[in-house]
Amino acid sequence: MYPVSNRETIISFSGHLSYEKIGNIINQLKDETKDLNLKLTVYKKLLSATIEILENIYKYHEFSKRF
């Protein structure tokens, strides 16, 4: 595990979310993590969690606008 002092923001996004933007964010994450030398298992978990989080934000934001 990395010490707290070595943590940094990898990507940041603000604004309306769409599936196209989710794809762009995932591609940006892939580009930004290339130089971090992450273990493959860590990289896969990071990627999976990010995709799940972004899709949930998109789905539930659209759902909440209906009610």
What's the chain's length in residues?
A: 67
d(CA 52, CA 44): 12
* Model pLDDT for residues 3-58, shown as the tens digit of each residue: 545 678 888 888 888 999 999 999 999 999 998 889 999 999 999 999 999 999 99
Q: List the chain domain ranges.
A: 15-66
pTM, two decimal places = 0.74
